[in-house]
Amino acid sequence: MSSSDVTPSTTTATADAPRSRVPLGLDLVGSELSVLFRRRRTWAMLVAVALIPILLAIAVRLSSDTLAPGEGPPFLDRVTQNGLFVGFTAMIVGIPLFLPLTIGVVAGDTIAGEAGQGTLRYLLTAPAGRVRLLLVKYIGAAAFCVAAAFTLMIVGILIGALLFPVGPVTLLSGDVISVPESLLRSLLVASYVTVSLLGLSAIGLFISTLTDVPVGAMAATIVVSVVAQILDVLPQLSWLHPWLFSHYWLGFADLLRQPLDLGSFADNILVQLCYIAVFGALAYSRFSTKDILS
């Protein structure tokens, strides 16, 4: 009896000691995530994102007109026949503006927000180091990308299933897949959109190191995402298009073809990695040489 009482306490003690000493980053990530997701602003943005599919589904449900194929955003005419299309349509509507907007707010706030509140100094007095802080902040922004994309998709599926019949899904190629497989593809689309937003998050992180005014960094990040999309439609710049971070944003349509085409997913990952590398390096250089005054 007494021996069994002793053993667990000693094991936890030995396990705890290295955990608190070595991977200090993990604790930092944990606290960053809990701060991020306990903020009212974060929840407000996630609710706004969730409203996209909800409003879309309700509007389609309430309108008496049946849509002709090809009218409105893609897939909108299929929504009445199959609720699973709500998620896809909402993703198409959300990705050009709503999602970049929320990412701009979160990524732009990362460093500038702390600087603006005067808490950056205290964060750096803890033996965290600037590189680690930058990494933790980026992981926080990436976690928000995951949350936003999956909220949009999952809420879309739920509201679609609630208001419309659910059945096998017709892919762009005309082939039909079962409900479980279509759910799998929906999650794949959400992952694709998450990856799509990582490049913009890195840009936002860099811009955030440039200023102490968080609103400025947020606005600049959103402007960058709009400018990239404008450049993407100018035919004179076609050589640049494959390297714009927004170029593959709508490429998740390739995940709705049969056989599954992962080519654009791979291209998307490559482009986003380039942006993460370049703007991560810029953010490191800027932040590690910056005079922290606040």
Sketch the per residue contact string, 173 through 212, with another protein: x for CB under 8 A, - otherwise.
Answer: xxxx------------------------------------
Among positions 35, 263, 266, 294, the unique one binding another protein when judged by CB under 8 A: 263
- Rounded to an integer, what distance in angstroms lies between the CA atom of residue 73 and that of residue 81? 16
Question: By CB under 8 A, which span of 6-14, 154-162, 215-223, 286-294 interacts with another protein?
Answer: 286-294
With binding defined as CB under 8 A, does residue 230 bind another protein? no
Q: To the nearest whole angstrom, how small is the minimum distance from the Cβ of residue 33 to another protein? A: 26
With binding defined as CB under 8 A, does residue 124 bind another protein? no
SS3 sequence of the chain: CHHHHHHHHHHHHHHHHHHHHCCHHHHHHHHHHHHHHHCHHHHHHHHHHHHHHHHHHHHHHHCCCCCCCCCCCCCHHHCCCCCCHHHHHHHHHHCCCHHHHHHHHHHHHHHHHHHHHCCHHHHHHCCCCHHHHHHHHHHHHHHHHHHHHHHHHHHHHHHHHHHCCCCCEECCCCCEECHHHHHHHHHHHHHHHHHHHHHHHHHHHHHHHHCCCHHHHHHHHHHHHHHHHHHCCCHHHCCCHHHCCCCCHHHHHHHHCCCCCCHHHHHHHHHHHHHHHHHHHHHHHHHHHCCCCC
Q: To the nearest whole angstrom, how small is the minimum distance from the Cβ of residue 82 to another protein? A: 8
Taking the least distance from each CB to another protein, the nearer of 91 and 105 is 91
Q: To the nearest whole angstrom, how small is the minimum distance from the Cβ of residue 277 to another protein? A: 5
Q: To the nearest whole angstrom, how small is the minimum distance from the Cβ of residue 137 to another protein? A: 17
Q: To the nearest whole angstrom, how small is the minimum distance from the Cβ of residue 282 to another protein? A: 5
Among positions 261, 262, 267, 292, the unique one binding another protein when judged by CB under 8 A: 261
With binding defined as CB under 8 A, does residue 129 bind another protein? no
Q: To the nearest whole angstrom, how small is the minimum distance from the Cβ of residue 248 to another protein? A: 11
Binders of another protein in range 264-283 (CB under 8 A):
274, 277-278, 280-282
Among positions 61, 132, 241, 257, the unique one binding another protein when judged by CB under 8 A: 257
Q: To the nearest whole angstrom, how small is the minimum distance from the Cβ of residue 7 to another protein? A: 48
Read off the tokens for 186: 């929906």
With binding defined as CB under 8 A, does residue 96 bind another protein? no
- Rounded to an integer, what distance in angstroms lies between the CA atom of residue 72 and that of residue 196? 24
Four-residue CA torsion sign, 75, 79, 84, 90: positive
With binding defined as CB under 8 A, does residue 81 bind another protein? yes
Q: Which amino acid would we find at residue 148?
A: A
Provide the binding-site residues for another protein, judged by CB under 8 A.
68-71, 74, 77-78, 81, 92, 167-168, 170, 172-176, 235, 243, 250, 253-254, 257, 259, 261, 263, 274, 277-278, 280-282, 284-286, 288-289
